[in-house]
Structure 1
Amino acid sequence: MKSVERIANVALAGLTLAPLVMKVDPNLNVILTASLTVFVGCYRSVKPTPPSETMSNEHAMRFPFVGSAMLLSLFLLFKFLSKDLVNAVLTCYFFVLGIVALSATLLPAIKRYLPTHWNQDIISWHFPYFRSLDVEFTRSQIVAAIPGTFFCAWYASQKHWLANNILGLSFCIQGIEMLSLGSFKTGAILLAGLFVYDIFWVFFTPVMVSVAKSFDAPIKLLFPTADTARPYSMLGLGDIVIPGIFVALALRFDVSRGKHSRYFRSAFLGYVVGLVLTIVVMNWFQAAQPALLYIVPSVIGFLAAHCIWNGEVKPLLAFDESKAANSSEESSDSDTNTSKKVE
């Protein structure tokens, strides 16, 4: 699994840098970059212990409404306040967030070349005048934060598309790696809600497109084109992260059953097919498209067809990472108690 992940990491890095030295078709770039990002994030999400925090059905139901409120708020901010002022505030916010995300993304690769105690020894730093607030980190995290700070400073000063994409890819990978839907039922609820959300805000209002064009922050990936009238093709990070966490759940489901990449392949293939459909329709109509309109049915459809074909609908729907997390915590507690008794 690690070798496959490393190959995907190298391919993603090469594809990200490729437009600097050669002409890359933006449509192909969108498909390959998004697919590789989902692939990398999914494999990074596979860990020895299940996620401690998972999304509930109630959270999944509320998510589209919360997202709508945030989207509308941003639209109103850009409409009634200075665009430069709003983007300046957002740049400061994403500067800090970008350092954290990029550092966390680079950390696994950096840790291999550092002394063991740099990765294990915890340093605790207390905020001045707020002694109750403290931050814990390791020396390796400090080292990883150096390139993160550089790229964030580069982005804040130049707003270069490459810096934007590096930060955006870090957000995507961390989102897919850290977020857990808990179960496929919750995932279906979330994807269905955002399916409607995407259609409504793109087709029935100018809000989504307006915010995407005004929002000068790494919430979208930019792909250089040869068209001076439209210098970049764009893909929102949500079109990568939201389906990505569902595909990652399929991979962890496979791993939990000892069947490597079985349903992951069908879910991942569904994502790629949905992305291709988005690009085809976008170019056909020469208009922005809600990517989740094509990705959500494709991902769920491919996965559903596969499990129905195998007659494994029940175990797939019964899978729940939150229960696995609780059971692992209970087992670790019992092991601790046993060790104490032995002592």
Structure 2
Amino acid sequence: MPQDAELIGSYLSLGLQAVIPIALGSFKSLKTPEETIRKRKVSRKTQLSDGEEDEEEEEEVIEETLTWTDSLLFPVFGSIALLGLFLILKYVGKEWINTILGFYFTGAGMFAMHSTFSSIAIWSLRALGRKPTTYHIRISAGIRQVFHLPTTLPSMILVPISIALSLLYIPLGRPYILSNILALSLSTATLALLKLDSFLTAFVLLGVLLIYDIFWVFATPVMVTVAKSIDAPIKILSPKSSPFGHPKDFAMLGLGDIVVPGLVIALCLRFDLHRYAKSHPQEEVTTRSRFSKPYFYTGMVSYVVGLATTMVVMHTFRAAQPALLYLSPACTLGPLLLAVVRGELKDLWAWSDAPTEEEDKKRLDETIEAASEVAMKARAEVKATEIEAAKKEVELESNGNSNGTTLIEEDDSWMTGGVVTPDEGKARKRKGGKKK
């Protein structure tokens, strides 16, 4: 009985560790609805309110959207990578591959850990009613900005901490606690980076990876061998005995069993935000708006049920189980059943979270030239000059009309590079322009 109690505690620890990055990554994947962005452009709130602009810049991250055709390639590339690792372990040895992967995940973990810790710190401060000030680090060449980094004080403080923890991973002997921190940070960062474009893509992804998981776990020893042999933050571990000291036996859960269902749950949360924005057209909905989250909560409950089923079966048969065998049906049926009950199945199936043409154009513009204070000032001066020239032209035209003669300036801008002064045009009388 004591041993069973320790195992149950180990499984509960795994479940808690799996849920945390899914929740964090889902909220990090949110983006301001297009309707709100259009309203801000029309009302020019982004130019008038520096605070709101800073918040949007702070949330801005690189993202990659996956389509259903991309989902079909997941098991192909996953199988190639898995089989390659298995062959390296079999014919070369695990020391070499563990060293390479250790250094790789140390570098990747620095960025993932900093991103995750920064989000937690900023959300915690906002929950306490404290809004961190955003600082802008800019490098400009003339009127062209070549580098722009919005950051906050908590984010800057966490930079050395993230670097130090990642660098200590190998020298400290790869302790499982630090390995779990790196693995959970990588999971959170991946969920913020990768996004599914629709529920069709989500269900296709769950289906094909279900087949992939069953094959490599039950039909071959490949996945179990790789998971047990590689000592890298590609899994979360929970000791089956006391967590103190140096435990040797662990229960484990691969990052794929967190990230893949997490992508679907994050899509559910974005669908909840879309529904709320659609039902409140007069409200300026942002990622920080309070909105109902029925699909997100259903997805989370479905994941917990699927993961609990996996652990019960694993504990009963004392054998490794493909977690997606239980997670994929749970995370598919949960949102679908809720949509049927709410009468929103058609909306759920038709909704697309793929980037619009405006978003693609915005990303392209940002890669070409970002806005800088110097550039904005130069453009403002040019615009003011153009407005002044237009005013003078209107005054000249009104003076000509008061004399009964309309002055029309000949367009010789092709000779002067587009700039025409009032003295360069020759006045000529229009027919019917005589005084009465």
Q: What is the TM-score normalised by the length of structure 1?
A: 0.80
Deviations 1:257-312 (A, max 9, x none): 11520211111111110000000000010000000000010011111111111221
Distance (Å, rounded) in 2 between the aligned partners of 1:193 and 1:46 = 26
**1:100 to 1:330, Cα distance in 2 relative to 1, 3 A:** closer
Query: Aligned-pair distance for 1:52?
Result: 5.5
Per the alignment, residue 148 of structure 1 pairs with: 162
SS of equivalent to 2:321: coil
1:52 and 1:322 in contact (8 A); partners too: no
Per the alignment, residue 106 of structure 2 pairs with: 95
Looking at secondary structure, tell me which structure has more helix per residue: 1
Per the alignment, residue 305 of structure 2 pairs with: 273
AA partner of residue 35 (structure 1)? V
AA partner of residue 14 (structure 2)? V
Per the alignment, residue 47 of structure 1 pairs with: 31
AA partner of residue 181 (structure 2)? I
Per the alignment, residue 77 of structure 1 pairs with: 88
| Aligned counterpart in structure 2 of residue 35 of structure 1, from 19, 37, 41 | 19
Distance (Å, rounded) in 2 between the aligned partners of 1:34 and 1:62 = 25
Query: Aligned-pair distance for 1:144?
Result: 3.0
**1:164 to 1:49, Cα distance in 2 relative to 1, 3 A:** farther
| Aligned counterpart in structure 2 of residue 196 of structure 1, from 211, 214, 230 | 211
Per the alignment, residue 268 of structure 2 pairs with: 250
AA partner of residue 244 (structure 1)? G
Query: Aligned-pair distance for 1:225?
Result: 1.9
**1:264 to 1:257, Cα distance in 2 relative to 1, 3 A:** same
2:261 and 2:303 in contact (8 A); partners too: yes
SS of equivalent to 2:208: helix
Equivalences for residues 151-190 of structure 1 within 5 A: 151-158=165-172, 159-190=174-205
Question: Is 1:121 equivalent to 2:137 in the alignment?
Answer: yes
SS of equivalent to 1:156: coil
**1:164 to 1:114, Cα distance in 2 relative to 1, 3 A:** farther
Per the alignment, residue 284 of structure 1 pairs with: 316
Per the alignment, residue 287 of structure 2 pairs with: none
Unaligned runs of 5+ in 1: 1-21, 125-133
AA partner of residue 262 (structure 1)? P
Deviations 1:194-248 (A, max 9, x none): 1101000000000000000111100000112218996211111110111001001
Distance (Å, rounded) in 1 between the aligned partners of 2:66 and 2:241 = 42
Deviations 1:183-202 (A, max 9, x none): 11111111111110100000
Distance (Å, rounded) in 1 between the aligned partners of 2:347 and 2:333 = 17
SS of equivalent to 1:287: coil
**1:23 to 1:150, Cα distance in 2 relative to 1, 3 A:** farther
**1:76 to 1:135, Cα distance in 2 relative to 1, 3 A:** farther
159-168 or 50-59, larger mean C-alpha shift: 50-59
SS of equivalent to 1:35: helix
Distance (Å, rounded) in 1 between the aligned partners of 2:139 and 2:131 = 16
SS of equivalent to 2:66: coil
2:235 and 2:253 in contact (8 A); partners too: yes
Query: Aligned-pair distance for 1:318?
Result: 1.0
Per the alignment, residue 376 of structure 2 pairs with: none
1:26 and 1:224 in contact (8 A); partners too: yes
Deviations 1:67-88 (A, max 9, x none): 0000000111111113111111
Distance (Å, rounded) in 2 between the aligned partners of 1:255 and 1:117 = 25
Query: Aligned-pair distance for 1:117?
Result: 5.7
SS of equivalent to 1:221: strand
Deviations 1:122-178 (A, max 9, x none): 469xxxxxxxxx987566565433111111122111210110010011011111222
1:167 and 1:218 in contact (8 A); partners too: yes
Q: What is the TM-score normalised by the length of structure 2?
A: 0.64
Larger Rg: 2
2:64 and 2:193 in contact (8 A); partners too: no
Distance (Å, rounded) in 2 between the aligned partners of 1:188 and 1:69 = 22
Distance (Å, rounded) in 1 between the aligned partners of 2:360 and 2:179 = 39
1:49 and 1:328 in contact (8 A); partners too: no
Distance (Å, rounded) in 2 between the aligned partners of 1:108 and 1:39 = 12
1:55 and 1:181 in contact (8 A); partners too: yes
Distance (Å, rounded) in 1 between the aligned partners of 2:23 and 2:132 = 29
SS of equivalent to 2:65: coil
**1:249 to 1:114, Cα distance in 2 relative to 1, 3 A:** closer
Percent identity at matched positions?
Answer: 36
SS of equivalent to 2:196: coil
SS of equivalent to 1:271: helix
Distance (Å, rounded) in 2 between the aligned partners of 1:310 and 1:341 = 53
Per the alignment, residue 256 of structure 2 pairs with: 238
**1:282 to 1:135, Cα distance in 2 relative to 1, 3 A:** farther
Question: Is 1:305 equivalent to 2:337 in the alignment?
Answer: yes
